[in-house]
Amino acid sequence: MTDTANRNAARADAASSARAARTHALLTAPIGPTLMALATPNVLAMLVQAAQSIAEAYFASLMGVTVLAGLALVFPLMMLTQMLSAGAMGGAISAAVARALGAKDPERAATLAFTAWIIAVCVALIMAVTMLLFGRVIFSALGGGSEAVDAAATYATVFFPGCVAIWLCHSSLSIIRGTGDMQMPSLLLLLVSIISIPFSGVFALGWWVFPAFGIAGLPLGLIAAYGIGAVIAIGYIAAGRTGLEFKGAFARIDMSMFRDIMKVGTIASVNTLMTVLTVVLMVGMVGQYGEAALAGYGLGARLEFLMIPIIFGTGAAMTAMVGANVGAGQIDRALRVAWTGSVASALIVGCIGMVLALFPNLWLNIFLDPSETAALEVGRAYFRIVAPFYPFFGLGLALYFASQGAGKMLWPLIGSICRIGVAVGGAALFTSITLWGVNGVFAAIAFAMLVYGIVIGMAIWRTRWS
């Protein structure tokens, strides 16, 4: 027993030393190379996660335009779950852990991990009950036909009761990121994304000896993959591999722990709700132009949402790096981290947007048959009008992640309020006083992205998070 105890103590000391070294690098290492090293594994994992989303849409397209339209109805709410668990609340968890470690308080960081799991389970249950009670009403209000609403409701009936697996997985990965370890979360998320693709195909289309569950199989595969990821991530943390000591951590939980996460997570969640609500309201406005228009816009909105995990690849690294520096009182360095990562994110998504503005069929032909001309035309119009404005969306969203690390979420929230106001108001104006039709909705979406990026960027430039 003595040898075993000694080995366990040695492993704990090694993990604690590695965690301290990671925090030291966040505080002192060159910003550009450090941010790139932290972000690279995240970006790789996010690209594979984007492939998973593409595969899901492709599987849905094999089941027909009606299923694709149903997926367009439920997709914003499914993405809301991902964005809240990984980005909004997940970023708040990562930032809280990073700030505690930056302030040289590892015991608080360990206690925050338990707090994060409690929050994750509670929010997941609230979302599941809400969607089971009101899901069909929401989908009908978005303007979908009865068959599209049926498809969306079928997806939601499986996805939302199982979303606790997604919440626990992302919360655990956020705890690990808060310690400065980006590699393990990225590898695990990479695994989850990779296995979710064949899982969804198996359950939805009935490959090999499995029965075909149709659209219900798509979320079933996703939930199964995240369930595996959650078990691995929680086990990794509980085994002390993050360098956090959990002895007595549960007993130390108090309201200050919940406040530390929720004061950032709540505002970040409202900000995320605004982002999703913008797309949901646009879905409702596009829905009045018919099922083909809804399917075409749904593919455009799906790519817009896929920009979020791509930016998250850099944003997660910024959240931890900014959080550690703010915790250590190094505000100037934290701001340099924010601008370095945000400009890089804007350039990345800007390049993607420019390619798709010029060649929209690169994306649309993956999902739509050439005979589906109406949906193709709507999708092409979306990319030609909206995609050139992706850099402003990327800039604003990256600064949102950096602001999570700083614990200063007011201006990202104001930016999101401005975005939704411009998008909804502009769409109503353009469609009522012009003959642009659905293109008027797209013009409002593009202008709203411009306003979003400029408002957040100028505010942080002037206030410096004061």
**Residue 214: what residue type?**
G
Query: According to the model, what pLDDT value does residue 262 have?
Result: 92
Buried b (16+ CB within 10 A) or exposed e, 358-368: eebeebbeebb
- Cα distance between the two ends of the chain: 54
Query: According to the model, what pLDDT value does residue 405 have?
Result: 85
**Residue 262: what residue type?**
M
Number of other CB atoms surrounding residue 23 within 10 Å? 24
Distances, alpha carbon 82 to alpha carbons 91, 127, 145, 309, in Å:
12, 12, 26, 9
Q: Which of 445, 65, 67 is CA-nearest to residue 292? A: 65
Query: According to the model, what pLDDT value does residue 5 have?
Result: 58
Rounded distance between C-alpha atoms, residue 223 and residue 189, angstroms:
13
Rounded distance between C-alpha atoms, residue 222 and residue 163, angstroms:
9
What is the residue-level pLDDT of the chain in tens, covering all 466 positions? 466 656 666 766 777 788 888 888 888 988 989 888 888 877 777 777 778 888 888 898 888 888 888 888 888 888 889 889 988 899 899 989 988 888 888 899 999 999 999 999 999 999 999 999 999 998 888 766 788 899 999 999 999 999 999 999 999 999 998 888 888 988 898 899 899 999 999 999 998 888 899 899 999 999 999 999 999 999 999 888 888 888 888 888 889 899 999 988 898 888 888 877 887 788 778 878 877 788 888 888 878 777 877 787 888 889 889 988 988 889 999 999 999 999 999 999 999 999 999 999 999 988 888 888 888 998 899 999 999 999 999 999 999 989 988 888 889 989 999 999 999 999 999 988 988 888 999 999 999 999 999 999 999 999 988 7
Q: Is 146 exposed, middle or buried (0-12, 13-18, 19+ CB in 10 A)?
A: exposed
Q: Which of 311, 304, 306 is CA-nearest to residue 282? A: 304
The structure tokens listed for 7 are 């080995």
With a CB cutoff of 8 Å and minimum separation 6, the contacts of 16 are: 106, 243, 245
Query: According to the model, what pLDDT value does residue 42 have?
Result: 75
pTM for the model stands at 0.78
User: Is 170 within 8 Å of 90 (Cβ atoms)?
Assistant: yes
Rounded distance between C-alpha atoms, residue 389 and residue 418, angstroms:
16
Rounded distance between C-alpha atoms, residue 280 and residue 135, angstroms:
13
With a CB cutoff of 8 Å and minimum separation 6, the contacts of 31 are: 321, 333, 336, 337, 340
Tokens 């939601």 sit on residue:
156
Q: Which of 186, 182, 172, 176 is CA-nearest to residue 117? A: 172
Give the per-residue SS3 of the chain.
CHHHHHHHHHHHHHHHHHHHHHHHHHHHCCHHHHHHHHHHHHHHHHHHHHHHHHHHHHHHHHCCHHHHHHHHHHHHHHHHHHHHHHHHHHHHHHHHHHHHHHCCCHHHHHHHHHHHHHHHHHHHHHHHHHHHHHHHHHHHHCCCCHHHHHHHHHHHHHHCCCCHHHHHHHHHHHHHHHCCCCHHHHHHHHHHHHHHHHHHHHHHHCCCCCCCCHHHHHHHHHHHHHHHHHHHHHHHHHCCCCCCCCCCCHHHCCHHHHHHHHHHHHHHHHHHHHHHHHHHHHHHHHHCCCHHHHHHHHHHHHHHHHHHHHHHHHHHHHHHHHHHHHHCCCHHHHHHHHHHHHHHHHHHHHHHHHHHHHCCHHHHCCCCCCCCHHHHHHHHHHHHHHHHHHHHHHHHHHHHHHHHHHCCCHHHHHHHHHHHHHHHHHHHHHHHHCCCCHHHHHHHHHHHHHHHHHHHHHHHHHHCCC
Q: Which of 73, 72, 66, 69 is CA-nearest to residue 141? A: 73
User: Is 390 within 8 Å of 353 (Cβ atoms)?
Assistant: yes
The structure tokens listed for 258 are 């919940």
Q: Which of 437, 438, 391, 393 is CA-nearest to residue 416? A: 393
